[in-house]
């Protein structure tokens, strides 16, 4: 076995004292990562939810190679380019109807930062002194200052609390108590001070894969409209088919005022994000008064090579039976989850489209549960990339995954329960 000198790299969401990075990936293929020992590791979480169709989809890879022969980064303040223009047109065509403008950024977190600033700028430029941002309990929107402020307060951001601004929080719509969520939001809106509700549609990702029904989102949008507030849909994770439709908002029959997308926008090949908004929000910033400019940018806004990858991703969606693959994957999960629904070693077995989750019944739950690290090592030794959120085990695979791949993953989950779980008394 080859050994490597100590690495100077500081890895994300990694406690190096407990979870050292020891294995190098040398290539990717289909639903697999191939490591330096020539082990094929099933990427059961799509490399943090970004890979949709498969690793290195040939159409997307070819688009990247072709674009790299013509482009590198181009300043996007005074200039434009065809990959960005074509992508924007296609995003508007595919998004829920009524969204008219596209602002590019680099990651899911920055797309949400952009959305928050758009919303605040909309009311500021209208002379309306609203300032309250509303979020949902257990939400997670990223690790920038604004998105941490809008996320659940706890271990993720405790050290950075002096930097964060306050937001209002409505309870998560737990089964049977959905009306409490709606009532809480309406109470906050009543004073007409709410700028926007920022929400992950249908499923809260890093907060524990918590799922709620589409009608709740429909009602939240109705309440926001009633009081002149905006609804921001953070579809960074839920977009690009993860919940069974291209965008989760489709299942609620709504058009958000602002829509955030990233992760699967390039099929997972390159970093890119987009924030789509209504014409009213754009027009509120349109003026001969330069003080009403939307003051946001990043050096790599609308990188042409990333935009070309995203255009190619949309070609894949158009020309390949992606939705049929998603339907088949939903069915495969549903069938394999069924035995776990009555298994006393698990709690809250659930599914949203291509996302499956189940909570291992252990004495200490939550993100910092020691079982999380133990489970991760257990799966790693079986050549499975699964990163449980504490005791919450979830699968979010690329759409090319096979029944045999899923059988292996679910068999490992069953085995892990024997080792680390306990039956409920």
Residue 15, burial from CB neighbour count under 10 angstroms (0-12, 13-18, 19+): exposed
Last residue of a domain, one of 269, 298, 319: 319
Asked if 336 and 358 count as a contact pair (C-beta separation under 8 A), the reply is no
In a domain, 9, yes or no: no
- Per-position pLDDT tens, the chain of length 425: 556 778 899 999 999 998 877 789 999 999 999 999 999 999 999 999 999 999 999 999 999 999 999 999 999 999 999 999 999 999 999 999 999 999 999 999 999 999 999 999 999 999 998 999 999 999 999 999 999 999 999 888 999 999 999 999 999 999 999 999 999 999 999 988 999 999 999 999 999 999 999 999 999 999 999 999 999 999 999 999 999 999 999 999 999 999 999 999 999 999 999 999 999 999 999 999 999 999 999 999 999 999 999 999 999 999 999 999 999 999 999 999 999 999 999 999 999 999 999 999 998 888 888 899 999 999 999 999 999 999 999 999 999 999 999 999 999 999 999 999 875 43
Query: Domain range spanning residue 362?
Result: 25-53+321-420
Helix (H, G, I), strand (E, B) or coil at 209: coil
In a domain, 403, yes or no: yes
382 and 254 belong to one structural domain? no
Q: What does the alpha-carbon distance between residue 314 and residue 320 come to, in Å, rounded to a whole number?
A: 10
251 and 390 belong to one structural domain? no
Last residue of a domain, one of 298, 319, 340: 319
pTM score, whole prediction:
0.97
Last residue of a domain, one of 273, 296, 319: 319
Where are the extended beta strands (E) located within 227-380?
230-234, 258-261, 273-278, 346-352, 355-360
The number of folded domains in the chain is 2
| Alpha carbon distances (Å) from 357 to 80, 175, 305, 389 | 42, 16, 35, 10
CATH of the domain at 363: 3.90.1150.10
């Amino acid at each position: 076995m080859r050994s490597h000198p100590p690495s100077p790299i500081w890895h994300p969401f990694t406690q190096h004292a407990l979870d050292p990075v020891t294995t190098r990936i040398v290539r990717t293929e289909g639903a697999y990562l191939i490591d330096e020992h020539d082990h094929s590791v099933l990427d059961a979480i799509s490399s943090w939810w970004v890979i949709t169709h498969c690793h290195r989809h040939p159409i997307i890879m070819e688009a990247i190679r072709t674009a790299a022969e013509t482009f590198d980064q181009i300043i996007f303040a005074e200039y434009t380019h065809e990959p960005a223009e074509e992508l924007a047109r296609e995003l508007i065509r595919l998004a829920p109807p009524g969204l008219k403008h596209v602002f590019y950024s680099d990651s899911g977190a920055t797309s949400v930062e952009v959305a928050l600033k758009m919303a605040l700028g909309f009311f500021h430029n209208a002379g309306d002194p609203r300032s309250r941002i509303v979020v949902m309990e257990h939400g997670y929107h990223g690790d920038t200052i604004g998105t941490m402020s809008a996320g659940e307060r706890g271990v993720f951001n405790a050290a950075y609390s002096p930097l964060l601004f306050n937001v209002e929080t409505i309870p998560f719509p737990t089964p049977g108590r959905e009306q409490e969520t709606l009532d809480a939001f309406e109470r906050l809106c009543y004073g007409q001070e709410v700028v926007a509700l920022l929400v992950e549609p249908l499923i809260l990702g890093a907060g524990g894969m918590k799922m709620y029904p589409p009608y709740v989102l429909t009602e939240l949008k109705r309440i926001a409209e009633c009081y002149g507030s905006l609804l921001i849909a953070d579809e960074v994770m839920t977009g690009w088919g993860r919940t069974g439709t291209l965008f989760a908002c489709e299942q609620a029959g709504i058009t958000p005022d602002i829509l955030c997308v990233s992760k699967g926008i390039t099929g997972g090949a390159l970093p890119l994000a987009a924030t789509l908004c209504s014409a009213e929000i754009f027009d509120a910033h349109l003026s001969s008064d330069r003080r009403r400019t939307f003051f946001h940018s990043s050096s790599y806004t609308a990188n042409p090579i990333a935009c070309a990858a995203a255009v190619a991703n949309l070609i894949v969606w158009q020309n390949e039976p992606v939705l049929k693959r998603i339907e088949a994957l939903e069915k495969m999960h549903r069938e394999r989850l069924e035995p776990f629904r009555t298994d006393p070693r698990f709690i809250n077995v659930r599914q949203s489209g291509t996302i499956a989750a189940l909570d291992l019944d252990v004495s200490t739950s939550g993100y910092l549960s020691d079982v999380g690290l133990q489970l991760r090592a257990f799966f790693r030794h079986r050549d499975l990339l699964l990163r449980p959120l504490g005791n919450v085990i979830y699968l979010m695979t690329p759409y090319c995954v096979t029944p045999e791949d899923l059988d292996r993953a679910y068999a490992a989950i069953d085995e892990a329960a024997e080792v680390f779980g306990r039956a409920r008394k």
